[in-house]
Chain A
Amino acid sequence: MEFRNYCAKINDMTARVRMAENGAQLVSRLEGRQSLRDIEPSIFPVDGGPGQGDVVEFHGSEGTGKTETLYHLITRCIMPVQSRGLEVAVVFVDTDYHFDMLRLVSVLEGRLAEDCKGGDGSENEPEERVRSCLGRLSVVHCNSSVQLLLTLHYLENTFSSQPSLGLLIIDSISSFYWVDRFNGGESTVCQEANLRKCAELLDRLRRNYGIVIFATTHAIMRNYGSDPGVSEVPGPSSSRRWRSADSVTDFDKPYLCRAWQRIVTHRMLFTKSHVSKDNKQVFSTACTSIMTKGVKRCSFHVMEDGIKFVCDK
């Protein structure tokens, strides 16, 4: 705790004595970023969308639609305002080496075409519009937790100099978990050192620059010995902050370091549910946030051109 205060003090100090600041940095610090609160009302709680400095964790096992949902959200961010987008620049940190640009483009094309049908008669070529949207996205691949940490440090400059940049996506923050566990030897402190530093840095980035952070975590830890529905084990565990989302899965145990758990403000659980009558797989999400009560549930299909939300019965 002492250490945290110490860090906070240092941060305050540097914030005050930051001498060299150019105009763009000043603007990005003072003016604030574009809000992402209504990025997708279907999956976030009412009045509980991700505001400035919020951290959303997307948690789920393989093939439950996490990355697909990210494509949907990215598309919404990078589309221009006249096509009902948010026109926000996005940085995508790909640690899973998983990012599928072709898929993103097909989602984007579908969305832009849909918009064109609306009849505003856009003069630009579709190809041209896709490219201008993609210009708002930058992608960076990281292959180790050290590289992730250094890259985040490097990105700090980008955040401070680009006011249009509002969203940082890390897919996924848990991918180096096992390698770090082993490299750290016996001591948990060493095992978690890199991720802890990343989390502390992310905390500083979100507070100083007001960016929103989305990060996915793989559900790889089973909740042994806890009743479904009562997943909250009393104790110092930070999972107490989360109201149970009825434990739709037995893989929803948070296992990353506490520095990370502490900064998460929204948690979204992904599950694969039933197959609907017309033979389509239904995916569902359950979002809880520390700001609002209750669980926001939502189901969707994955279609050729992105996800389609299913109206709740």
Chain B
Amino acid sequence: MVILREGICPGINEEFIKALQSEDIKTGVDNDHQIATFEDFVSCNPEELAQKCSLSYKALVAVRRVLLAQYTAFPVSGADLYEELLSATAILSTGNPSLDKLLDSGLYTGEITELTGSPGSGKTQVCFSVAVNISHQLKQTVFYIDTKSGMCANRLLQMLQTKTPNMEEQMEALQKIKVFRVFDVFSLLACLQHLRSNDLQKASIGGGSVKALMVDSVSAVLSSMLGGKQNEGMSLLMQVAGELKMIAKDFNIAVLVTNHVTRDGNGHLKAGLGQSWSHVPRTRVLLQRVEDAETSSLRTATLTKSSRQACHLVEEFDLCHWSEEKRTSISGKRKLEERSKP
């Protein structure tokens, strides 16, 4: 809503507003509505308005034009947009070959990717490892919004230790992961808005080193708002979605969110948060445990939504891939060295 008030644009002064509001103009079904917002004003015919309010037609048209220029989104030519995309889009590797294969080589900037899965399916672990990979391998800052206090710095360090034995490098990488803790949807919205208007703005001026934003989990704060008389919860849900989309698009950032799963009528797993949310992520991956596998760290990832790859691609991966596996090889090497010493 854009309220018409003194000083929002050069031509608007007190008399102008008074003149507009002196006359009740039919702006809609509710006939006695006054022109208070620019939406009302812009929908009125300037000629009609000029006669009724005894304002100059020229002034009205000028104000309309200036305000339109101020508040509308501008069309961009497709050719320019393509050019910009080619130069600005980055694909961030997740550090896991099978996930990368599923996502067509990684997380794309400017898009929202969603991880869904039941508890214990490894959503948070995947987030951690992606964060570590982006901060260490790609040397980019990651914003990590933690809504269920699942962030565990030890685990991040553990993952980093498998990548590099160098303490300094480890610390450097950890410093690149900025964690925000929020516990309800209002603080989540405030956090996102703050990021959009402050931190990211600054970062984008200073060269744009923030490349990824993660929200783990988006359903933890949103699912409790849904149900009942719906309107408020759905509105908040869509506002969060809107903020995430804007962050992704305007700052060219890869957004990764996690979501829970529910079962549909046929007993198939589907992403939580309902129909309206289902339109939000561009790519969705479903994580599941591998049943009757002797090791509990084996998971399958299924692509359930994508505009690049055929859906229902399945890849299997091991959560240990990011830590223990390599550590055993390192300790194995150490053993060899110890043996060769004497």
Contacts and interface: CB of A to CB of B under 8 A. Distances in A.
Contact of A139 (B69, B75, B89): B75
Contacts of A200: 43
Which label, helix, strand, loop or mixed, suits the secondary structure of the A interface? Answer: helix
B43 A135 contact: no
Contact of A179 (B69, B78, B82, B239): B239
Interface string B1-44: 11000000000000000000000001011110000001100110
Given A14-B45, A14-B47, A149-B42, A3 B26 contact: yes
B24 to A, nearest CB: 14
Given A134-B79, A220-B275, A181 B26 contact: no
A170 B275 CA distance: 20
B82 A134 contact: yes
Contact of B249 (A132, A141, A151, A194): A141
Contact of B307 (A100, A134, A176, A196): A100
A155 interface: yes
Contacts of B75: 91, 138-140, 155, 158
A6, A131, A182 — most chain B CB neighbours (10 Å): A182
A178 B234 contact: yes
Contacts of A103: 307-308
B78 A138 contact: yes
A189 B26 contact: no
A150 interface: yes
Given A97-B245, A149-B42, A154-B72, A137 B78 contact: yes
A226 B143 CA distance: 47
Interface string B55-87: 000000000000011011111111101100100
A178 B82 contact: no
Contacts of A101: 78, 81-82, 85
A181 B231 contact: yes
Nearest to A102: B85
B237 interface: yes
B72 A143 contact: no
A267 interface: no
B106 to A, nearest CB: 14
B235 A182 contact: yes
Contacts of B89: 102
A179 B242 CA distance: 10
A97 B246 contact: yes
Contact of A140 (B74, B237, B249, B308): B74
Contacts of A61: 275, 278
Interface string A107-130: 000000000000000000000001
Nearest to B28: A193
A181 B246 CA distance: 21
Contacts of B28: 3, 189, 193, 196-197
A298 interface: no
Nearest to B305: A63
A14 B44 CA distance: 12
Interface string A1-38: 00100100010001001000000000000000000000
A142 interface: yes
B324 to A, nearest CB: 36
B238 interface: yes
B227 to A, nearest CB: 14
Nearest to A183: B235
A147 B72 contact: yes
A140 B42 contact: no
A313 interface: no
Contact of A153 (B47, B72, B79, B249): B72
B325 interface: no
Contacts of A14: 45, 47
B43 A151 contact: no
B282 interface: yes
A186 to B, nearest CB: 10
A303 B31 CA distance: 52
B276 interface: yes
B305 to A, nearest CB: 5
9 contacts: A62-B305, A63-B305, A97-B248, A143-B73, A172-B279, A182-B232, A193-B39, A218-B276, A220-B275
Which 3 A-B pairs have CB atoms at the shortest separation, nearest pair first? A182-B235, A137-B78, A97-B245
Interface of B: 1-2, 26, 28-31, 38-39, 42-43, 45, 47-48, 68-69, 71-79, 81-82, 85, 89, 231-232, 234-235, 237-239, 242, 245-246, 248-249, 274-276, 278-279, 282, 305, 307-308, 311-312
